[in-house]
A and B are shown apart, each in its own frame.
Chain A
Amino acid sequence: MNENRRSILDMLAAGKISADEAERLIAALEKEQTGPTESRDARPKAKPKYLRVLVQAAEDHVGEGPTSVNVRVPMQLLRAGVKLTSLIPAQAREHVNEAMREHGVNFDLGQLKPENLEELIDQLTDLTVHVDQRDAQVRVFCE
């Protein structure tokens, strides 16, 4: 029990403050103690800089032993890639959208804007794809 809490309880025992007042003071004390840690947790997470793809295969088809692939793609490249979509002529974009619709992806490339991508990248911080098979492992994550 810390010093402040003890003094509040002493004041309550001495009848200097009521039980309600003591409760309010203890609550305020607890809030003060937990406040700094909450603000530390509330700090914005660092933005991911890279998209990592790791593949580990136990044995390949030609018997070359365990194979590993390690790819690190900067987020800046993803951002630039999205900006590239704005360079696609409108007619070609329609063709792409139609082809995607045929394959079950109902998405308009024209709606892909850099500001939307920022939001997407912010959410990618928590993304981890982990495919685990007997002879291969694939991990996709951001760092």
Chain B
Amino acid sequence: MINTIINYIADNLINEPLDDDLEPEDDLLGSGIVDSMGMMRLIAFIENEYDLKVAPDEMVIENFMTVENIVEYITTKNKQQ
């Protein structure tokens, strides 16, 4: 899951080539790696890929700051379903 998300971000959403590879703990939101339209695309990708619906109340920094956070969010969400 980590690699699928990292690859999607790296191939579709990154603004400028990074010096190093994207790491699971890199800050996606504060660093400018992904912009606000990019975040909306990433959410759509996750909904599609993992067959879930991100509720508006779940669109918070804590769930989407890093790829690690995203994976944790998806895992918890899947357990609930």
Q: Do A and B come from one complex?
A: no
* Residues of A participating in the B interface, judged by any CB pair closer than 8 Å: none
